[in-house]
Amino acid sequence: MSFPLYAPAEEHHLLRETVRALADEKIAPHAAEADETEEFSWDVYKALVAADLHAVHVPEQYGGAGADALATVIVIEEVARACASTSLIPAVNKLGTVPLLLSASEELKSRYLAPVARGEAMFSYALSEPEAGSDAAAMKTRAVADGDAYVLNGTKMWITNAGISEYYTVMAVTDPSAGARGISAFVVEKSDEGVSFGPKEKKLGIKGSPTRQVILDDVRIPANRMIGDPGTGFKTALATLDHTRVTIAAQALGIAQGALDYAIGYVKERKQFGRPVADFQGLQFMIADMAMKLEAARQLTYHAAAKSERAMNGEPQKDLTFLSSAAKCAASDAAMEITTDAVQLLGGYGYTKDFPVERMMRDAKITQIYEGTNQIQRMVMARQLLK
């Protein structure tokens, strides 16, 4: 499908209406509970699957909806507006599977993308380690060839939906002498012998999505589960992030939109000094700034999504790395500011769990950290500009 670089097409607008209606009805009512109990909501997952919104990016040839990158952004954005934790279902399914879409054999794609498309399995992405976060190339997880298999040992950290997902894209060192060029990518299954998970991290936000270590203890997998050629794993990991940073930007947009919408409704109802607080210019300026920052980030994100779509379709986009970093950085910084201001606009109520904006503020923080901190994004952007 071709579409203008910025403007969503008619079907994108219809998709937004569909997702928003589902999110308002099936997702938003459970958001506070998921935050409180810190439990993954299978009911919400089933509602997404029933509407075919859990992994919209999977191409039609593997049984997926075949949504373009902009449509995927809109789905994540609208789900995040209701519940940031739930938006990690479509976002992380994309993160886990993009390495396959970019680099895997046809056999691997068919085998692993079809169950994800059907909603029978989720896919997580295992790159970070306790000592390898921003410096991901310093990873210690090893994959040693043994006949027609590889044996994996190591610990992956901060893995979203770990223990829930059936499948994991795991980066491991196959040639310790080759640095970043000695890293390969593999598909590991939850049911593989030797795979276990650490305890759930106790987090500030996104509590309805478990984050755990993935522990690999002599995990033996067939060699044909390598994604791409030996030594290409780190290149695949970086190329993946060019596409998926855009989905984190989308999540940030959704969280910010949810907070802005709630704050606008509140200031129009709340009265002080005998009039709605929306009548006071100081608050009007805050609302105007929040909406302006959000819309600027949205346009940048949609532009990056259009570039991502073209790149996935085999048209190289030399500015995709810059744009995806810029979108992720701008949208997450905006989300943190907007949610913080939303709490301020609600005054004392904003600081209580009776209202959703404090949750949105906590949820927004992670968007500045994961899939590359915003400090790393600025380094990536500067390198692109200066090379």
Q: Which residues contact 387 (CB under 8 A, 6 or more apart)?
A: none
- Asked if 100 and 65 count as a contact pair (C-beta separation under 8 A), the reply is no
Note the pLDDT tens digit of each residue in 158-184: 999 999 999 999 999 999 999 999 999
pLDDT in tens, 326-369: 999 999 999 999 999 999 999 999 999 999 999 999 999 999 99
Q: Measured between alpha carbons, how far is 68 from 307 in angstroms, rounded to an integer?
A: 11
Average pLDDT on 55-61 reads 98
Q: What pLDDT sits at residue 1? A: 43
Assessment of whether the complete model's pTM goes beyond 0.85: yes
Q: Which two tokens stand for residue 192?
A: 């593989």
The Cα-based distances of 138 to 173, 179, 313, 343, 369 in angstroms read: 9, 8, 31, 39, 19
Query: Could you give the residue ranges of the DSSP H alpha helices within the chain?
Result: 10-22, 28-37, 42-50, 69-82, 84-103, 106-118, 233-269, 281-312, 320-345, 357-367, 374-386
**Which residue carries 């969280």 as its tokens?**
255
Q: What is the chain's alpha carbon radius of gyration, rounded to the nearest angstrom?
A: 21
Q: Do the Cβ atoms of 87 and 145 come closer than 8 Å?
A: no
Residues 381/323, Cβ–Cβ less than 8 Å: no
Closest CA to 126 of 227, 205, 247, 253: 227
Catalytic residue among 78, 129, 309, 371: 371
What does the alpha-carbon distance between residue 252 and residue 240 come to, in Å, rounded to a whole number?
19
> Is 358 an active-site residue?
no
Domains of the chain, CATH where assigned: 10-118 (1.10.540.10), 123-231 (2.40.110.10), 234-386 (1.20.140.10)
CA–CA distance, 80 with 95 (Å, rounded to integer): 16
